[in-house]
């Protein structure tokens, strides 16, 4: 793989698939004035096709809808009518399963948020701060499936913060097992998501298919690329998933048993000194601080800390000894920014830097 610092000489035209939903809107917001990418096409469901974006999108973000997309006409997701080198997918999983291969077949690189292809052995499941070398799977994917394009995925929004926080501990101490309990924001269910009457003043201790993803995806991302596949990291995870009435920001209480001993200062030092691999630094979406470790007894909190590093920094707090495991902590990550659209854009920037995106 070539890894020189070639930046695009002009902005790369991109499409957003499923542009009217919670994640689609984040893409539109984060891609406005992006130095490398320019949104030129939007797709949606049947109800939106043929309408101007501003007419059909119920905009839910606190910043105004960007002027440059307001009058774009929403096109069908399938069959493929657009021909951009890059598409960001914010499609529901069942739609992504059918649509994303069609885009890859037509030569488009798809950076997907959907879970449809995360478990495929030839599809990278990516966090640039953690496993930029997993894009080596791309050539096998293109060869085996005979696709000129390809699919790269980002993880479930809960696994994002967990995996980033654990990466320095996995590298320095190894991991034996862990126990995690999530408190996930309502925006994680998309728009309109969970009915307000089920959510207000309540906690729902069930999110469809979530615990299985939480127990598997971290092992793929911390796994090693060998012989054109990823050897899963060898540890067990027990996960509980809860939906809580918080707008944005997934919080996780995590207890971990390590393979090798380390003092609490060693653990703290490993996390605070962690930097992304060189190739993933200094990209437009790279967080200045990968992990922020807070020392106050009552932080992180979604209300106060979710926008740390423009929503791209993983915030950890309450690091302390655990009487059953070794250490416990609380992790906070922005679910629609770092855990979805922002993460997917960061993946695409990495692909540009690795010369994997046609320009």
Ligand X SMILES: NC(=O)c1ccc[n+]([C@@H]2O[C@H](COP(=O)([O-])OP(=O)(O)OC[C@H]3O[C@@H](n4cnc5c(N)ncnc54)[C@H](OP(=O)(O)O)[C@@H]3O)[C@@H](O)[C@H]2O)c1
DSSP assignment letter at 337: I
Considering the complex, state which of residue 48 and residue 345 has its C-beta at the smaller distance from ligand X: 48
Contact residue for ligand X among 12, 86, 125, 157 (CB under 6 A): 157
Q: Where are the alpha helices (DSSP H) in 146-280?
A: 157-173, 196-199, 210-221, 264-272
Pick the closer one to ligand X by CB: 29 or 255.
Answer: 29
Question: Coil, helix or strand for 319?
Answer: strand
Task: Give the residue, chosen from 21, 149, 300, 342, that forms a contact with ligand X under the rule CB under 6 A.
Answer: 21
Q: Is 285 in the site for ligand X (CB under 6 A)?
A: no
Task: Figure out which of the listed residues 161, 300, 339, 342 binds ligand X, where binding follows CB under 6 A.
Answer: 339
Q: Binding residue for ligand X (CB under 6 A) from 113, 255, 286, 347?
A: 113
By C-beta, is 255 or 336 nearer to ligand X?
336
Q: Interaction with ligand X in 168-227: which residues (CB under 6 A)? A: 187-188, 190-191
Minimum CB distance to ligand X, residue 317 (Å) = 21
Residue list 54-73, contact with ligand X (CB under 6 A)? none
Asked if residues 41 and 82 have their Cβ atoms less than 8 Å apart, the reply is yes
Active site residues: 157, 250
The residue number with the shortest CB distance to ligand X is: 21
Give 65's DSSP letter. Answer: P
Residue 92 near ligand X by CB under 6 A? yes
Contacting ligand X within 71-90 (CB under 6 A): 77, 90
Q: Rule CB under 6 A: say whether 91 interacts with ligand X.
A: yes
Single out the residue of 38, 40, 45, 242 in contact with ligand X (rule: CB under 6 A).
Answer: 45
Nearest Cα neighbor of 219 from 163, 263, 270 is 163
CB of 217 to ligand X, least distance (A): 11
Q: How far is CA 224 from the centre of its chain?
A: 19
User: ∠ CA(20), CA(285), CA(32), 5° rounding?
Assistant: 40
Query: Is 181 strand, coil or helix?
Result: strand
In the chain, which ranges are E strands? 12-17, 37-44, 74-76, 86-89, 109-112, 150-153, 175-184, 224-226, 229-231, 236-243, 250-258, 291-293, 314-321, 327-333
HSE at residue 68, side-chain half, CA atoms within 13 A, is 12
Cα(105)–Cα(5) distance, rounded to whole angstroms?
28
Task: Give whichever of 29 and 113 is closer to ligand X, judged by the CB atom.
Answer: 113
Binding window for ligand X (CB under 6 A); candidates: 39-47, 212-220, 279-287, 323-331: 39-47
CB of 302 to ligand X, least distance (A): 13
* Residue 22 lies near ligand X (rule: CB under 6 A): yes
Interface pick for ligand X out of 109, 340, 350, 351 (rule CB under 6 A): 340
CB within 8 Å of 208: residues ≥ 6 apart: none
What are the φ and ψ backbone dihedral angles of 263, each rounded to 5 degrees?
A: -75, 170
Interacting residues with ligand X (CB under 6 A):
18-24, 44-45, 47-48, 77, 90-93, 95-96, 113-115, 157, 187-188, 190-191, 335-336, 339-340
């Amino acid at each position: 793989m070539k890894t020189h610092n070639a930046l695009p000489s002009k902005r790369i035209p991109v499409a957003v698939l499923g542009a009217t939903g919670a994640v689609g809107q984040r893409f539109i917001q984060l891609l406005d004035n992006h130095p490398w990418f320019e949104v030129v096409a939007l797709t949606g469901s049947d109800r939106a096709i043929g309408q101007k974006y501003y007419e059909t999108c119920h905009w839910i973000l606190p910043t105004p809808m960007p002027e440059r997309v307001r009058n774009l006409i929403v096109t069908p997701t399938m069959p493929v009518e657009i021909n951009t080198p890059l598409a960001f997918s914010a499609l529901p999983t069942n739609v992504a399963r059918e649509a994303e291969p069609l885009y890859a077949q037509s030569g488009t690189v798809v950076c997907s948020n959907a879970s449809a292809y995360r478990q495929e052995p030839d599809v990278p499941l990516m966090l640039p701060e953690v496993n930029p070398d997993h894009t080596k799977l791309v050539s096998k994917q293109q060869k085996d499936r005979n696709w000129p394009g390809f699919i790269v995925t980002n993880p479930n929004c809960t696994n994002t913060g967990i995996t980033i926080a654990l990466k320095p501990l996995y590298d320095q101490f190894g991991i034996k097992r862990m126990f995690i309990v999530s408190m996930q924001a309502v925006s994680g269910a998309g728009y309109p998501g969970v009915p307000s009457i089920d959510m207000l003043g309540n906690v729902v201790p069930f999110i469809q298919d979530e615990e299985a993803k939480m127990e598997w995806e971290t092992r793929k991302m911390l796994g090693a690329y060998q012989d054109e596949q990823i050897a899963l990291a060898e540890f067990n995870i027990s996960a509980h998933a809860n939906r809580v009435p918080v707008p944005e920001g997934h919080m996780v209480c995590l207890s971990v048993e390590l393979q090798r001993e380390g003092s609490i200062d060693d653990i703290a030092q490993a996390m605070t000194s962690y930097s992304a691999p060189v190739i993933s630094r200094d990209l437009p979406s790279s967080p200045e601080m990968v992990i922020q470790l807070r020392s106050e007894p009552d932080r992180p909190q979604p209300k106060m800390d979710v926008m740390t590093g423009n929503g791209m920094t993983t915030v950890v707090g309450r690091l302390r000894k655990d009487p059953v495991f070794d250490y416990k902590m609380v992790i906070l990550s922005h679910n629609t920014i770092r855990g979805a659209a922002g993460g997917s854009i960061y993946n695409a920037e990495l692909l540009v830097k690795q010369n994997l995106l046609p320009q």
